[in-house]
Structures are given as C-alpha cells and as structure tokens.
C-alpha cells in the first residue's frame, strides 16, 4: 500500500468531472461522494475504518468539503457582480 502522500488528490477527479460533465453534475457527485465516504468511516468493521484507509477517506472528505466551499463562494461572488438581467418591456 502506498503512503498517504502518494495518493492522487481528489482535485484531479474533480477537474476531470468539471471538464466532462460541468459544474452542477460535479457538485452533485462531490456531495454524494462525501456522504458515501462518511458512511463508510462510521461503522466498525468497514474496511474504511482500518488505520490504512481511514486517513485516505478523511483526507478525501476534507478536499471535497474545501472544493464545495470554494466553488460556492465563487458562484456567490459571481452572482453579486453580475448585473440583473434586463427586464422585458410590456
């Protein structure tokens, strides 16, 4: 088993999904994956609770949460900067 430092960052998977599927699909995938990973590190007996794997799952969860926070801030910031759409004239 390779050390934790040798594990590829989740950001690479996220970048791939952004290019292939777009922001909204990627955001949904990240949220779904966080839920799956959290569920795996909870119950005893799951391989994800093993000392070899648990740090990898926890690191991935932190990366996903960080990406969601940054992506959300970026979207909010863009929305604040964008002028409102023109109103239709009656």
Domain boundaries, the chain: 9-80
Query: What does the DSSP 8-state code read for residue 4?
Result: G
Nearest to 63 by CA among 12, 6, 2, 16: 12
* Other Cβ atoms closer than 10 A to 28: 12
Grouping H, G, I as helix, E, B as strand and the rest as coil, residue 21 is helix
Q: What is the pTM of this model?
A: 0.71
> pLDDT tens for residues 10-55?
999 999 999 999 999 999 999 999 999 999 898 777 878 888 889 9
Banded model confidence at residue 85, pLDDT cuts 50, 70, 90: very low
């Amino acid at each position: 088993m390779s050390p934790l430092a040798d594990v590829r960052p989740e950001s690479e998977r996220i970048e791939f999904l952004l290019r292939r599927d777009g922001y909204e699909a990627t955001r949904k995938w990240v949220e779904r994956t966080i839920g799956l990973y959290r569920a795996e590190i909870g119950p005893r007996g799951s391989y994800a609770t093993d000392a070899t794997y648990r740090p990898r799952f926890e690191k991935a969860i932190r990366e996903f949460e960080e990406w969601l926070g940054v992506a959300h801030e970026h979207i909010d910031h863009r929305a604040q900067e964008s002028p409102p759409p023109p109103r239709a004239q009656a």
